[in-house]
Structure 1
Amino acid sequence: MPVMVVTGTGTEVGKTVVTAAVAAAALAAGRSVAVLKPAQTGVAPDEPGDVAEVLRLAGPVTGVELARFPEPLAPATAARRAGRAPVSPEEIERAAAKLAASHDLVLVEGAGGLLVQMDEAGSTLADAARLLDAPVLVVAQAGLGTLNITALTGEALRSRGLRCAGVVIGSWPAAPDLATVCNLADLPEAARAPLLGAVPEGAATLPPGDFRAMSPTWLAPPLSGLWDATHFASQQH
């Protein structure tokens, strides 16, 4: 199935913006795209969530949210505190498979990191990826401290027999420091997977038309983009 799971090395690393960029680049390449958010936490019923943000930035994609819990907590904890049923990996698989039947690409955006618990049984996004037999795209921070958590995420994927599609830096600073520049070479080694892009900080504040036009320049060809890691690194000072 044409499904890709998008996870982060933690919270607030740019996962939703990267999901939107991948969706926009795929749309620009003529592909139909669906975005599935299994569990949206920390958003009130009448507030826009991550799916709405992807649609705002990327354009005409199909957006599906399976559950919403008001408190900004891990999905299992948020569901328990809300007195509602959590989302299981099996539900994610069924929803993604249904979308894959009518779309060229389905992006499943997780909550937080790979091993955040989805339900009381301890299920995680990794379990959903295994059921879907889908590659996992890892969104990482740019600067100091990112190598360890990226390496741990890669190790967790490999130990479960899952394929890391690659790493995208979720927010590349306008003035990168030495550690950040060095991470361009070190992140692929840490993840044991290719570096597939770098989305500039503040990308979400661009007018949606500009975001859509620029997205392919932030992502490598496997993500329907034009970005080249070697050329990008040569431009950093």
Structure 2
Amino acid sequence: MTVLVVTGTGTEIGKTVVTAALAATATAAGLRVAVLKPAQTGLRPDETGDADEAVRLSGAVTGTELARFPEPLAPGTAARRAGMAPVRPDEVADAARKLAEEHDLVLVEGAGGLLVRFDEAGGTLADVAALLGAPVVVVVPAGLGTLNSTALTAEALRARGIEQSGVVVGSWPDAPDLAARCNLADLPTAADAPLLGAVPAGAGALAPEAFRAAAPGWLAPALGGGWDAAGFAERFAPPARAAESGATGAGAAGAR
């Protein structure tokens, strides 16, 4: 695997931290890793972008950003409003190929979800993955609502003939609720792809050394780590629901 595309089912769900974990795990294995961010939005020129942050946390060799737009909007919209040239899928694919000539692994981190537009022609990260023939890792939230967005993203990938490597929970809570616990079993079904990791909430705030040491434990062997999906799901399996008759009886007793 030379190029791996990282997308999500939405914004602010942990794509950059997952990208950093992938980069840290590969770097620890001796690979030369590059992180490519096609379009960064909502930051000033002097602020740290996602590619920079992934490199800082992971120790990856290279971080590259193709374009930056000032407003926190979809890249195509942000480019139009700023009067700037948009980033196009073929440009992103070309940049990834060039990085792949000098690196063992190139991680392409999208903005928002899979079908967020890069340009007025409707180019998306899905088009980038198709041009590259690259597999896609989908970063998902843990809680209620994630199954629908995960299934929709998986359906969009299948419709385009793009390989989905699997899904990674971008921010696993310290105290997962019932929905999050149940979703560990249901996400592989919704995605029709394996669950390949769970990054703990707050991982991005770790010192780089601590982040790099822990990252392989958050990702499954398919992504170079040692995380055990079955063991993790068993650990957080929700308790069995009480039988209806028992629940009814308990409620009646309480009412008396």
Give the TM bin, normalised by the shorter chain.
over 0.9
> Which residue in the other structure is 1:235 paired with?
235
- Tell me which residue corresponds to 1:66: 66
Residues 203-234 of structure 1: per-residue CA shift (max 9 Å, x gap): 01111100000000000011110001011112
Shift of 1:105: 0.5
SS at match of 2:127: helix
- Equivalences for residues 36-55 of structure 1 within 5 A: 36-55=36-55
CA distances 1:67-114 after superposition (whole Å, capped 9, x unpaired): 000100000000001111100010011100000111111000000000
| Divergent runs of 4+, >2 A | none
Q: 1:25–1:225: 8 Å Cα contact kept in structure 2?
A: yes
Q: Matches of 1:220 and 1:182 in 2, distance apart?
A: 19
- CA–CA distance in structure 2, aligned partners of residues 171 and 157 of structure 1: 23
Q: C-alpha distance in 1, partners of 2:2/2:145? A: 32
Aligned to 1:14: 14
Once the two structures are TM-superposed, the CA of residue 148 in structure 1 deviates from its matched residue by 0.1
SS of equivalent to 2:30: coil
Cα drift, residue 146 of structure 1 = 0.1
Please give the alpha-carbon distance, in whole angstroms, between the structure 2 residues aligned to 1:221 and 1:102. Answer: 25
Q: Contact conserved, 2:140 with 2:168, CA < 8 A, in 1?
A: yes
Listed as ranges, the gaps of 5+ residues in structure 1 are none
Q: What residue is the counterpart of 1:222 in the other structure?
A: 222
Corresponding letter in the other structure for 2:212: R
User: Contact 1:4/1:106 (CA < 8 Å) preserved in 2?
Assistant: yes
What residue identity is the alignment partner of 1:52?
D
RMSD, aligned CA: 0.8
TM-score, with length taken from structure 2 = 0.91
What is the CA–CA distance in structure 2 between the aligned matches of 1:60 and 1:93, rounded to whole Å?
A: 20
**2:138 corresponds to 1:143:** no
- Residues 23 and 61 of structure 1 are in contact (CA less than 8 Å); yes or no, is this contact kept in structure 2? no
Matched, 1:167 2:173: no
Does the CA-based 8 Å contact 2:23-2:60 persist in structure 1?
A: no
Is contact 2:35–2:60 with CA below 8 Å preserved after alignment?
no
What is the CA distance between 1:133 and its match in structure 2?
0.4
Aligned equivalents of 1:200 and 1:181: distance in 2? 14
1:25-174 alignment runs, 5 A limit = 25-174=25-174
Count of residues in Structure 1 that have an aligned counterpart in Structure 2 = 237
Report the CA distance between 1:60 and its aligned residue.
3.5
Checking the alignment, whether the CA contact within 8 Å between 2:43 and 2:49 is kept in structure 1 is yes
Which residue identity is paired with 1:48? T
In structure 2, distance between residues paired with 1:234 and 1:130 = 36
TM-superposed CA distance for 1:235, in Å, is 1.8
Q: Deviations over 1:23-72 (max 9, x none)?
A: 00001111110000000000001111101111111013211100000100
Structure 2 residue runs without a partner (length 5+)? 238-256
Corresponding residue of 2:198: 198
Q: Which amino acid aligns with 1:188?
A: P
CA contact (8 A) 1:167 1:194 kept: yes
Distance 1:60 1:184 in 2: 30
Task: Report SS of the residue matched to 1:53.
Answer: helix
**Distance of 2:51 and 2:92 partners within structure 1:** 15
- Deviation of the 1:120 alpha carbon: 0.2
Q: Say which structure, 1 or 2, has more relative contact order (CA 8 Å, 6+ apart).
A: 1
